[in-house]
Amino acid sequence: MGFAMAASASPEAGYLCIWTRYEANRDILRKLILEIDNV
């Protein structure tokens, strides 16, 4: 919901927020995959 408000205020800000969230999720997924591979 927060990124939707940012997108309505500024397309660039909304895109940056979505991209930052995607990058954070990708890092978390990478760590989970590495932990699963190490088991």
pLDDT tens, 6-39?
Answer: 445 677 777 777 778 888 889 888 998 888 887 7
In the chain the first and final C-alpha atoms are separated, in Å, by 36
The DSSP symbol for 10 reads -
User: For residue 1, what pLDDT is reported?
Assistant: 45
Structural domain range at position 11: 2-38
Q: CA quadruple 32, 33, 38, 39: dihedral positive or negative?
A: positive
CA distance 38 to 7: 39
Structural domain tally of the chain? 1
Note the Cα 19 to chain centre separation in Å: 6
User: For residue 14, what pLDDT is reported?
Assistant: 73
- The larger pLDDT score, comparing residue 36 to residue 4, is at 36
